[in-house]
Amino acid sequence: AQKVTQAQTEISVVEKEDVTLDCVYETRDTTYYLFWYKQPPSGELVFLIRRNSFDEQNEISGRYSWNFQKSTSSFNFTITASQVVDSAVYFCALKRGANSKLTFGKGITLSVRP
Amino acid sequence: GAGVSQSPSNKVTEKGKDVELRCDPISGHTALYWYRQSLGQGLEFLIYFQGNSAPDKSGLPSDRFSAERTGGSVSTLTIQRTQQEDSAVYLCASSSGQGGTGELFFGEGSRLTVL
């Protein structure tokens, strides 16, 4: 079975603060894929990142960075210098491998106050 | 169009009626997914199609729910004898890559309200 746990349900920060969204996953597979999606108030799901299990390099994209650690089965997402436009629900997701479904965590609601 | 297209965008129906929701994936994408998102909730997996393989129906909540994918392209999700608890946004997504391991592109969803 595969499972994604996003223990934080709601986070509220003031603009320009850094914030980390946690994601812990469970799978018995050696090949798997991890994703983060953003769902702003408009409702449309926006792809942020995809990482395969063989690539543990951390990634930075502008103010966004991701820390993938297989030893702790975690794939955390950090927003540096948060902005009001970052307010959204963020979902972490796991795909076991080819020809399998994508399992989402329950999501974290991030509110960034001016 | 370039993205995943879903119709109708909004559907209001009476309890007990059947509804059909349509998804037109991105051309060439081999994988197609249906998810359900109730108000303020996460994404609940319903069904997954990958190429010519048998679909993964493990997420369908009851036998009132069914889905087809014709010709490896358009998919229809059918809900029979709708109940109020079926009210939700139904999201369709498609992906490419080997075995559909690429990123999922989501449609804007079909909002279903059962009165």
- Nearest by CB to B42, from A95, A99, A106: name it: A106
What value, to the nearest 5°, has the Cα angle with vertex A71 and ends A67 and A72?
70
Q: Which residues of B touch A99 (CB under 8 A)?
A: 50, 53, 99-100
Q: Which residues of A touch B101 (CB under 8 A)?
A: 33, 52, 95, 97-98
- Count other Cβ atoms within 10 Å, centred on residue A13: 16
CA A27, B28, A48, B56 torsion: positive or negative? negative
- Given CB atoms, is A32 within the 8 Å cutoff of chain B? no
- Given CB atoms, is B102 within the 8 Å cutoff of chain A? yes
Count CB pairs under 8 A between chains A and B.
Answer: 56
Chain-centroid distance of CA A51 in Å reads 11
Q: Residue ranges of the alpha helices (H) in B1-112?
A: none
Can you give the pLDDT at residue B63? 96
| B92, containing H or E segment | strand B88-95
pLDDT one digit per residue (tens) for chain A, 114 residues: 789 999 999 999 999 999 999 999 999 999 999 999 999 998 889 999 999 898 888 888 899 999 999 999 999 999 999 999 999 999 999 998 777 888 999 999 999 999
Q: Where residue B83 falls among pLDDT bands split at 50, 70, 90?
A: very high
Q: Quote the CA–CA distance of A111 and A89 in Å, as a whole number.
A: 9
Q: Quote the CA–CA distance of B95 and B50 in Å, as a whole number.
A: 9
Q: How many residues does chain A have?
A: 114
Q: Which residues of B touch A105 (CB under 8 A)?
A: 42
Whether omega before A114 lies within 30 degrees of 0, making that bond cis, reads no
Number of H helices, E strands in chain B: 0, 10
Can you give the pLDDT at residue A55? 86
SS3 assignment, position A84 = helix
In this predicted structure, the answer to whether residue B101 has a pLDDT above a threshold of 90 is no
Section B56-62 average pLDDT: 94
